[in-house]
Amino acid sequence: MITLKEALKLSQEEIQNLKKELNERAKKESKLGAYIEQFLGRDLSQSCEGIPIAIKDNISVKGWELTCASKILQGYIAPYDATAIVNLKKNGFAPYGRTNMDEFAMGSSTATSYYGKTLNPLNLNKVPGGSSGGSAAAVASGLALASLGSDTGGSVRQPAAFCGCVGFKPSYGRVSRYGLASYSSSLDQIGVLTQNVEDAAILYDAIAGYDKMDSTSANIEFIKTAPNLNADKKLKIAVIENYINDASEEVKKALLKTIDMLKSHGHEIIYKQMLDCKYDIAAYYIIATAEASANLSRYDGVRYGRRSENIENLKDMYINTRSEGFGEEVKRRILLGTFVLSSGYYDAYYIKAQKARAFIKAKYEEILKDCDLIFMPVTPTTAFDFNAKKSPMEVYLEDIYTISLNLAGLGGISVPVGKDKDGLNISAQLVCKAFEEQTLLDGALSLEKIINRGNK
Ligand code: GLN
């Protein structure tokens, strides 16, 4: 598939042909389930002229269905464009196709979608990761040039690592959340999934910047990164030693080899320890579920999407609409979130989790004082089999290396660095100081070049 950079040189007619080709391919590859349209036997949704970008089904595109892959939102049509979409359109891009996801972005395998599973293009028996599994699978299989996803605890970086593309989550506040269906508002961030680092910079530049429609948007200067990319900068990179050591043997081996390559290309490597990931998991699943329980209270059968037909009174309407409309994982999280916010437990859980969050953030800031970037795994293993994870807890543990960045509000990118013995992708994660995306992308480009050179 041509890259975004190459696509920027195409004529409108060539772009139209490209869209047709993508649509045909998506139809042929319907079993992949990367796009929601593939489950419905429809053409890929489109709204205007421009270079086609696949859009996760939780980002509003005016006139398109927006369902967060949930039954409860069936039939809901977005009445406005998310700011990220407005910005895309201004920059010559156009939303094209709705990508599949875990219901309400809760999950790590895109297996909780109401429409069905997305498969990993590298091995159809493996999960593509999640929750932006459709966005990752579409890019990795040549069914999209690039896509938008959302990352609350790793949902851009982890599926990118499982499918073998680049996944970039900017710092919290860099990309407006206006028009992104809220999961956990203090953690959610729109990110990009692309074929390479330069495309990640190009697409990020198109969507980022201050937006008065989002009160958490960062009102600071934004300078475009793609024109200033520099892979030759020598950086000081802190390796999180305990994370590398705790990863699976194959992931560890690939990352250690990558560290040697970074060193021999002139980057300075230092070693640091980070807090035990168990604190990240505990804090994240309290804060994320607490905010989700509040955010999802709006789906009441009145304002959005689907209403139960089995109603005798107002209370029935709420209960039956929500019982029928939400899947099991979403219900589990609403219950957990409601519990940790209830009086008597609020201090014990929610306040404690907020303290842990502040502590994790401080620890990252301390490490980042000594270096330009942090280097660590994206995931402890490569993509796993469908049904490999028995309990919800086992799935939650897939996020051990990604969620802390959301808790700390930092930017992170996952870049492919190798393969395991079964040909599944292994990626490394680079992390930057808040709002230093230029350094992050410079480092990621350097890493990508080193790996490509090594593979030749
Ligand atoms: N897997 C994590 C969760 O289920 C993260 C999801 C995300 O980033 N949206 O909450």
Handedness of CA 19, 24, 27, 29 (dihedral sign): negative
Spell out the residues 6+ positions from residue 79 whose beta carbon is closer than 8 angstroms to its own.
60, 62
- Percentage of residues in the chain with pLDDT exceeding 70? 100
The pLDDT value recorded for residue 388 is 87
The pLDDT value recorded for residue 193 is 99
The residue whose CB lies within 8 Å of the most ligand 1 atoms, and thus the one to mutate among 57, 100, 102, is: 102
Q: What is the pLDDT of residues 246-278, one digit of tens each?
A: 999 999 999 999 999 999 999 999 999 999 888
The pLDDT value recorded for residue 119 is 98
Q: How far is the CA of 182 from the centre of ligand 1 (A)?
A: 12
Confirm or reject: Cβ of 108 under 6 Å from ligand 1.
Answer: yes
Ligand 1 atom nearest to 152, measured from its CA: 8
The pLDDT value recorded for residue 65 is 98
pLDDT exceeds cutoff 90 at 184: yes
41 CB burial (10 A radius; 0-12, 13-18, 19+): exposed
Confirm or reject: Cβ of 154 under 6 Å from ligand 1.
Answer: yes
pLDDT exceeds cutoff 80 at 296: yes
Q: Distance between alpha carbon 268 and the CA centroid of its chain, in Å?
A: 29
426 CB burial (10 A radius; 0-12, 13-18, 19+): buried
Q: Confidence class of residue 456 from pLDDT cuts 50, 70 and 90?
A: low
- CA 426, 385, 398 angle in degrees (round to 5)? 60
Q: How far is the CA of 117 from the centre of ligand 1 (A)?
A: 16
Ligand 1 atom nearest to 132, measured from its CA: 9
Size (the chain), residues: 456
The pLDDT value recorded for residue 263 is 98
pLDDT exceeds cutoff 90 at 391: no
Handedness of CA 412, 417, 420, 423 (dihedral sign): positive
Ligand 1 atom nearest to 403, measured from its CA: 5
The pLDDT value recorded for residue 394 is 84
Residue with tokens 């506040």: 173
Please compute the mean of the pLDDT values over residues 315-321 and round it to a whole number.
96
Handedness of CA 53, 190, 306, 391 (dihedral sign): positive
Please compute the mean of the pLDDT values over residues 44-55 and round it to a whole number.
96
Q: How far is the CA of 133 from the centre of ligand 1 (A)?
A: 11
pLDDT exceeds cutoff 90 at 454: no
The pLDDT value recorded for residue 429 is 98
Confirm or reject: Cβ of 445 under 6 Å from ligand 1.
Answer: no
pLDDT exceeds cutoff 70 at 385: yes
Going by C-alpha positions, the residue among 45, 43, 51 that lies closest to residue 67 is 45
Cα separation, 266 vs 272, whole angstroms: 19
pLDDT exceeds cutoff 90 at 203: yes
pLDDT exceeds cutoff 90 at 141: yes
Active-site residues: which are they? 56, 131, 155
Cα separation, 93 vs 82, whole angstroms: 14
- Percentage of residues in the chain with pLDDT exceeding 90? 95
Torsion of CA 219, 220, 221, 227, to 10 degrees: -100
Which strands form 236-240's sheet, in the order they lie side by side? Answer: 93-99, 51-56, 146-150, 190-194, 166-169, 411-419, 425-432, 373-377, 236-240, 268-272
Domain spans of the chain, in order of start: 4-278+351-455
Ligand 1 atom nearest to 154, measured from its CA: 8
The pLDDT value recorded for residue 39 is 98
The pLDDT value recorded for residue 390 is 73
Q: Confidence class of residue 129 from pLDDT cuts 50, 70 and 90?
A: very high
Q: How far is the CA of 105 from the centre of ligand 1 (A)?
A: 6
Q: What is the CATH number of domain 4-278+351-455?
A: 3.90.1300.10
Q: CB of 384 within 8 A of CB of 126?
A: yes
Q: How far is the CA of 90 from the centre of ligand 1 (A)?
A: 30
Q: Confidence class of residue 47 from pLDDT cuts 50, 70 and 90?
A: confident
Cα separation, 430 vs 163, whole angstroms: 18
